[in-house]
Every structure is written in C-alpha cells, then in structure tokens.
Amino acid sequence: MTNKAKIYAVIAIVAVFVAGYGVHHLFGKKPQNKGNIDVASITTFEQCSKAGFPIIKHYPDQCQTPDGRIFANENPPSEDELAKAEQVIRTFMGDWDHPQFQGSENNHINLVYVTQKRHPSNFAIYKPASQPPADYDFAEEYDRPVYIFQQKEFANDRCQVYEYQVAIKTKQVVEVGLVFPEGLEAGAAISGKCSKYGSMDTPSKNKDEIEQIAFTYMSRDPEHTKFLIRSDIQPEYFSSKSPTQHGWQWEDKSYKLPEGLVSDPFPYPMLKIIMSGNGKLVYYLNTTDLFPN
C-alpha cells in the first residue's frame, strides 16, 4: 500500500468513527429514568414530550405514549405569527369596507384562533398508498399547513360566522367559508338571536354589482391572484345551489401534476368565489400557489 493510500485509509477510519460517535450522541440519548415514568399519569402534550416519548410531525405536532394515547400540542403559535395571519385576513376582507362588519368591536374584524391543520379543508396533495389498509400516503414535502380562525361577529341571520384558513408558509388566505361556531346554543337562529345581522340574499343586488364586489376581494390579494390576468384562463360564471347566489371559477388546466401525485379536488390550480344575492361572500378557495412548481 502506498503512503497516499494509507493516508486515505486512515482518514476513512477516522470519518467512520466520528460519524458513529455523532450518531450515538444525536440519536442514542434516551430520557433519563424513562423506566420510572408513570405513563398513566401523562395527560398533556407537554408531559409526553418532556418524558421523551416520540413526537409525530403533524399540524399541530403530536406526542404518543407507549400505551397508544396521542396528545396534540394545543399551544397556539406565537403572537407575532397570529398577528401576521390576522392582518392578512383583515386586508382580504376589507375590514370595515363592507357593511357586514358594522357593529363589530374595536372598529375591525375580531378573530379567534382555532387550530392548525396540515392542509386546507378542501385541498390536498398526496400519493396513492403503497400498502393497505391506508388509501393515501401524505409526504411532508406536500403538506400545505394552514392556521384556522373564526370571526367573532355573526355574518348573517342564521348565526353563522366566517371561518378563515391562512397558509402558514406564505401567509395567503386560501379558503373562506361560513360555519356555525362551536358552542352555539340550540335554536339561536330560530329564536331570532341573529336577526339583526340580516339575510345574505336580501335586499338583492344585480349580477354586475355582485361581480364588482367579488373582484374587489381578489384585488386585495394581487400576489396570489395575479394569474387571473392571463389571457388563456377565462372566468367561468355559474349559478350556485341557491338560485340567488352567483359564482365565478378560474381553472389552469394546462398544469400537470408530477407523476405519481394526486390532488383533491382538482388536479390543477383553480380559484372559486361564491357570492350571496346581496353581495356577501359565501365561499372562497384559491389553490393557485399550492401546487408544486
């Protein structure tokens, strides 16, 4: 063996030793006194994590105890993170630009953080499962996590509120819909508790007026609606399930998903907005920046 070969051999041996030492210290550490932990007494994510049990990467993260129980990290994001997401919502909704927010506190939309999820309610990218019984394989690289907020003020006489989903990574309003808030007392709408918030259908506006309001929403997020200016994508108008509602949809059917991936509900970027008969937002979904480039 030449001197040069001997030097390379020594370097290789040292590298293996160092790598093994590093792996041992990075992954070989175990929680202290793990055998003495009273697993049954663990009731929170913090206790599970502190005990050194496995953390499952999720939105929010989860910790699993040896007896199979799973605890979600219920701690909200930082105040700075929430403030950024809330500002995005207020900008998109126009805050006080729309009469539906009259009567709200502090002269702007009031929001409550609810939770976070690994992808919006009506969007996901995944691979068909390679092994049963699972139907899908969700890879972390295709997660599109969102923060979910609900508006404190009622949006209509049915006692519904707006629910907003904001992309964590891009701070984009991805989805907006109407839901019944948790804890709503039974029969609240029937009893007239929310009658002062008015119907979403009357007094009615004509289609041109409603279209102008719909496009105003999208103009408030030019960074994520800029594809609408493309000449090859034309809006498709449709009447929603309610005869008094109006909707517009854009679809980029030229986009092709990478081989082996599936997207729900559409395999291509799209934007949909549905408006009520008197010009209030009913639903919004924008997946144009959620697909792999």
Confidence of residue 174 (pLDDT cuts 50, 70, 90): very high
| pLDDT over threshold 50, residue 219 | yes
d(CA 168, CA 96) in angstroms, rounded, equals 25
216: which 2 tokens?
């105003």
* Contacts of the segment 43-48: beta carbons below 8 A, 24+ positions apart: 43/71, 44/71, 45/71, 45/72, 45/73, 45/74, 45/75, 47/71
pTM exceeding 0.75: yes
- In the chain, what are the domain boundaries? 3-72, 79-286
Per-residue model confidence as pLDDT tens digits over 70-84: 888 877 889 999 999
Phi-psi region of 223 (alpha: psi -120 to 50; beta: other; left: phi over 0): alpha
3: which 2 tokens?
């001197």
Omega of the bond leading into 145 within 30 degrees of 0 (cis) = no
Per-residue model confidence as pLDDT tens digits over 224-247: 998 888 888 888 999 866 778 999
Mean pLDDT, rounded, of the chain: 81
Partners of 251 in the beta sheet?
Answer: 270
